[in-house]
Structure 1
Amino acid sequence: MNEEIPAAETLDKPQPPADESSIRGFQWWRRTFQYNTGIGLTGTEKDQYENDYKYVLQRKQCNECYQYRDWLLKYSPTVIFMAQQIARLNTSSDSTKESNGSEYKFDESKIICDVCPEWRSGGFHPELGILLCQNRIRDKWHLEDTLAHEMVHYYDNTRWSVDWLNLRHHACSEIRASSLSGECRFMQEFARRGLGFKVSNGHQECVRRRATLSVMGNPSCKDQKHAEKIVSEVWDSCFSDTRPFEEIYR
């Protein structure tokens, strides 16, 4: 066939997209597809995508963590009670007196959310306050247990000036925190251990296990047997000490 090639100016040209958002959306979709399949993506581009994805995810986790924290400080009976008790103990630095002179307000800036490299959901530092691990929190109720646990440490440190390198001090506070926070109540322990959960003395076994694991992370602890020994030595007095609660929350 001897058909003539048409002149370029006579051809129909592709139309531009309606708006820039469609371009960005398409590019994001294309990059996501490339990232998941590995097709057409250079090593540098893949690294950049991973960095962007991590940033977006961490921002989302951070926002949720602070939203949960603020909600719990307003509506969780356990968290509200612990905040009040800590504030009354430390009116000079970690709380501010209300205008009526009778109530004290907990300094919520002492509770921060951040990314944690270790497999943990929270932590307490005697000078900095409470850390909530935004990348380890499953939901609002997991954060409630975590925050309540760390607030018991905060309370203990404020009231008794705990020496956290002293294994007996550390073990006592861990026993109290696991027992009083609600993290060892029946449904929580059943969800964690399933059919391996024992109804009889389940609460005590949970508290002992979690306290031992925490003490094992102390640099002054030699090994698991050492941690178990320390926990056993302080168990009776610390497990029975429910302050500032009147009884154990289960």
Structure 2
Amino acid sequence: MGASQPPSSSSSPPSSPPDVSSSPSQPPQPSSSPSPPSSDSQPPLPRFLKNDPARTGYDPSLTWWMNYFKIITGQVTREGVEHYREDRYRANEERDCARCEADRAYLFQYSPVIRFLREKVTALNGTLDEENVVCRRCPARIFEDGRVVRQGGGFSPDHGILICANEMRDRSHLEDTLAHEMVHAWDHLRWKVDWHGGGNLKHAACTEIRASMLSGECRWTRETMTRGNWTLTQQFQNCVRMRAIQSVMARPACRDDVHATKVVNEVWDSCFTDKRPFEEIYR
């Protein structure tokens, strides 16, 4: 990926990232399967559930509308609904990816925040374009305990930015997701983050705080109109903190929500006030 290349040796050396140690965590994984634990001390990863019509009520051999009727009449379990959704995503993959690619092209040309971040990445000798910002269908992870984990996108220093076309509600949602991942790309270039460092989650926490803060995904209208959160005090801060904690929890090196919260709190003051490459938060 172009954006994964560090600045050339002729550029001035970057300053250290705010309040983080020199051993960052692993980057978000754009694949549908989590990375293996970094050490033997990590708990075993849960298995992903496969559909069993006898258990879930969802029968893929039936037409989609017959299964839909079963869903609205309560004959399909929550797990079965998720398997049905995954099958519909597979059926509509070509349509979803084509729409995602058209919106991506529009945003690269007309979105102020995307154009700004693209210019800043270019200034660090990186490249983000249709070759390494790709639209793909992203399978969900359905765990044995009933949890369903979905992702809107991901950044990999070796491959680029992944946009999960099947999870994008509209162009505005894609703009927020793309901006989030572009902040990760800028951070990677600016500070030469060692994404494959062992066990230290401070870098991950810091870049997740900054990405949620600067991308616009926590702006008031998104929180109220899309997520139904009408809290009037500390809403923006709470959204950024919550999303950063959730992202850190998804890292293999994170033990649990308590661990993730502790790491986010440790870097919060310095990372939440760091608006680079912007001057102000305007989304």
What is the TM-score when the length of structure 1 is the normalising length?
Answer: 0.72
Q: Which residue of 2 aligns with 1:205?
A: 238
From 86, 89, 92, the equivalent of 1:57 is: 92
8 Å Cα contact 1:181/1:249 also seen in 2: no
The structure with the greater share of residues assigned to helix is 1
How far apart, in 1, do the equivalents of 2:260 and 2:216 lie?
22
What are the equivalent positions in structure 2 for 1:153-172 lying under 5 Å apart? 153-164=184-195, 165=197, 166-172=200-206
Q: Does 1:136 align with 2:158?
A: no
Query: 1:92-125, CA deviations, whole angstroms, 9 ceiling, x for partnerless residues?
Result: xx43xxxxxxxxxx43311001011131111000
The 5 A counterparts of 1:8-47 are 36-37=65-66
Match among 122, 137, 143 for residue 115 of structure 1: 137
The answer (yes or no) to whether the contact 1:186–1:203 under 8 Å persists in 2 is yes
The whole-number CA distance in structure 2 between the counterparts of 1:64 and 1:180 is 25
**Residue 8 of structure 1 aligns with which residue?**
none
Give the Å deviation of 1:161.
Answer: 1.8
1:86–1:61 distance in 2 versus 1, CA, 3 Å: same
For 2:255 and 2:114, how far apart are their aligned partners in 1?
Answer: 34
Query: Can you list the C-alpha shifts for 1:131-177, whole angstroms capped at 9, x where unaligned?
Result: 00011000000000000000000000111122335300000000000
Residue equivalent to 1:189: 223
Q: C-alpha distance in 2, partners of 1:247/1:35?
A: 48
Match of 2:262 in 1: 229
Alignment check: 8 A CA contact 2:209 2:241 kept: yes
Corresponding residue of 1:79: 114
Query: How many Å separate the matches in 2 of 1:197 and 1:229?
Result: 26
Deviations 1:35-64 (A, max 9, x none): 6459xxxxxxxxxxxx99766511100100
User: Which ranges of 4 or more aligned residues in structure 1 deviate by more than 2 Å?
Assistant: 33-38, 51-56, 163-166
* Structure 2 CA distance for partners of 1:61 and 1:231, relative to 1, 3 Å: same
Quick one: which of 77, 86, 101 aligns to 1:66?
101
Q: Whole-Å Cα distance in 2 between the matches of residues 174 and 161 of structure 1?
A: 16
TM-score by length of 2: 0.64
Whether 2:276 is the aligned partner of 1:243: answer yes
1:220 partner amino acid: A
- Percent identity of equivalent pairs: 50
- TM-aligned CA deviation for residue 201 of structure 1: 1.2
Aligned Cα RMSD in Å?
2.3
1:9 is matched with: none
Q: Provide the C-alpha distance between the structure 2 equivalents of 1:158 and 1:64, rounded to a whole number of angstroms.
A: 29
CA contact (8 A) 2:154 2:162 kept: yes
- Aligned counterparts of 1:58 and 1:155: Cα–Cα separation in 2: 29
- Whether 1:215 and 2:245 are equivalent positions in the alignment is no
SS at match of 2:246: helix
Structure 2 unaligned spans of 5+:
1-61, 68-85, 141-149
